[in-house]
Amino acid sequence: MLNKLKSQMLNLGLKFISVDDKVVRMILETSASNINEIVLMPAVKIVMKKLVKRLQNKIVHGRVYNGTLNGIKVSIIRSQVGCPNAALTIECLKRSKAKIVVRVDFCGGIYGENTTINIGDIVIPKSAYCGDGTSSEYLRANQTLLNQLESITNPLSTTQNLIASPQTIFISKPNELLKELLIREARSLYPSKVYPCKIWTTDALFCETYEFLRSLNSINIKGIDMESSILFLLGQLYNLKVASILSVSDLPGDAKYDLLKSNEIHPDMETGIDNAIKILINTLPKIQHSL
């Protein structure tokens, strides 16, 4: 009886909101109207805390933190790790007045014989290879996108131990203007530490084998993360301007600074994410101007 009354009350309340607002409330625990036009989207807790600490005039609406950074109104929403979580957040943003999304977080730097990238360096993706499963599901459901995306033969599909990999890998790209604004500001502040480059997005953090990393090196991929591919893809699908600015947290395959094989944290790891946040905050007035 009590459950029946609860459901009746809930259904009564739902009559007064749209289905889109219902979706946002379910996932972000607030109304779509409480999301600003510019959204910053970290995935991990430490980055979220650093951003919120800098936020002025802070107001919290469920999982949405609103306020100003460098005089610009923003919403900060932690997506949690991985493409499925990032996609859920973007699905909410497409149902709001959000127009710009910038992912700021960590990534891995691809380690190899000729690697110059280091922990604490800034990676600004020029493109993201869709090595995740979420992107493939959205492409299956939105087949017109297939003709709009660049693709290559998957370098992993020819590897003996990875014969189950798809033959074709699709490549998603950030908004060109946002990307260039971030690169320009990054180079003005830290010219020797900035890498505009190709990255690989994966679902499987614990599957970074030597063979896998060598395949990424073979097509000149410098970084690996777990969200950017789906963010760029959905930005294109839903007409949102999306870009990423990332700091290298570890070097998969390196004996000393592979996060999954060593207990040693590089002293520049936190400095790098602080620098990435500084670059983003400095760029916000120009990002606002691009609306």
Provide the number of structural domains found in the chain.
1
Parallel, antiparallel, or unpaired: how do β-strands 38-40 and 100-109 relate?
A: parallel
Residue 11 within any structural domain of the chain? no
Residue 13 within any structural domain of the chain? no
Q: Which of 31-40, 221-230, 261-270 has the lowest mean pLDDT?
A: 261-270
* Token pair in block for residue 51: 């951003």
What range defines the domain where residue 50 resides?
19-289
Interacting residues of 206 by C-beta distance below 8 A, sequence separation 6+:
260
Residue 42 within any structural domain of the chain? yes
pLDDT band at 2 (very low <50, low <70, confident <90, very high): low
> What is the reported pTM?
0.91
CATH number of the domain within which 44 lies? 3.40.50.1580
Half-sphere exposure in the Cβ direction for 27 (13 Å, CA): 25
**Cα-flanking dihedrals φ and ψ of residue 262, to 5°?**
-140, 150
Residue 35 within any structural domain of the chain? yes
Residue 25 within any structural domain of the chain? yes
Distance CA 193, CA 275 (A): 10
Greater pLDDT, 267 or 193:
193
Q: Which pLDDT does position 11 carry in this prediction?
A: 52
Residue 240 within any structural domain of the chain? yes
Residue 262 within any structural domain of the chain? yes
Q: Which pLDDT does position 4 carry in this prediction?
A: 58
Q: Specify whether the CB–CB gap between 115 and 197 falls below 8 A.
A: no
pLDDT band at 157 (very low <50, low <70, confident <90, very high): low
Residue 44 within any structural domain of the chain? yes
Distance CA 189, CA 191 (A): 6
Residue 67 pLDDT greater than 90, yes or no: yes
Q: Which of 161-170, 228-237, 250-259, 271-280 has the lowest mean pLDDT?
A: 161-170
